Amino acid sequence: MDKYAKFLVWLKEREVDNLAIWLQEFELAEKGSEKAIINIALLYKQYGNFGEMYDLLNEMSERKNSEAMYELANCYIEGLGGKGSEHQALSLYKSAAQLGHRDAMNNLADMYFNGEATEVDEKKAFFWFEKAAELGVPEAMYTLGIMYEQGLGTKCNASKALDYYKRSAALQYVEAKYRLGMIFYSGELNQQQNDREAINWFRQAGEHFHVDAIYNLGYCYEHGHGVMQDVDRAMAYYKQASILGDIEATKRVVDYYEKANSIEATKWHEKLKSLENLNELDGI
């Protein structure tokens, strides 16, 4: 059985969708298309064929393909198939970053920032986050906001911190939206306290199911911060946060129903106990 036929059998055994597209991709890979080879490797990754995945990504990495280096580093970080290490991932991210791969730049910066497989080096982290941000990586922009805000790897600069948070939020990075909400809610980074502006950012973050943003919206509606006080709407937000696993939001719902509806209070008490038990298990 030739390679094409074996690949077709493999696809059918795993009930992979879009057979014709994947067969065409396999043909391109056999003709030497580096993009197609990487796509096939990632398909193998998706379906747990780590041996074939590593073979293809290693081959492409040796050809100095930055995307292959980045994906191989990701596999090492994830520990797939019991192969690789964080040190190998660091080396691959560095090589890919030097070849201009923006996500590799961001991940390399993260490793320097958090001291993964290397000593913490805030200046190197700042350097690579800045490079990644220049190429449009919203996570890098957000982290630069933190670094400018806290003076990590650079001098504190409230104006630049705020600018990076806004740039990241404009690219739909949810943590940046939430951070902006907190900045305006608390009047941080030399900004005037502004509940309405805070709520705007909390709403945007909440659309991405950011649980803390949703909780804060409940709190604002409960207490009339920046909006007309509306307990029913507050409870709706608290319930949404509770569904996402927030214990404090669940306590707020319990407190409300203890005064208004004993049957609902009992139900939400059970929900609270369940979340607290899960939280205890996560802490073990």
pLDDT digits (tens, 9 = 90+) for 127-174: 999 999 999 999 999 999 999 999 999 999 999 999 999 999 999 999
Tell me the fold of 1-99.
Answer: 1.25.40
- In CATH terms, 194-284 corresponds, of 1.10.8.290, 1.25.40.10, 3.10.350.10, 3.40.50.300, to 1.25.40.10
User: What mean pLDDT comes out for the span 37-45?
Assistant: 98
User: What mean pLDDT comes out for the span 173-193?
Assistant: 98
User: What are the Cα distances from residue 193, in Å, to 145, 188, 262, 269?
Assistant: 19, 8, 39, 35
Percent of the chain with pLDDT over 70: 99
What does DSSP assign to residue 153?
A: S
Q: Are 111 and 85 in contact (CB under 8 A)?
A: no
What residues contact residue 95 under an 8 Å CB cut-off, 6+ apart? Answer: 64, 66, 69
Rounded Cα–Cα distance for residues 118 and 255 (Å): 48
Q: Are 109 and 98 in contact (CB under 8 A)?
A: no
**pLDDT of 284 above 70:** no
Instruction: Provide the residue ranges of all domains of the chain, joining segments of one domain with +.
Output: 1-99, 194-284
Domains 1-99 and 194-284 are alike in CATH topology: yes
Q: Are 258 and 265 in contact (CB under 8 A)?
A: yes
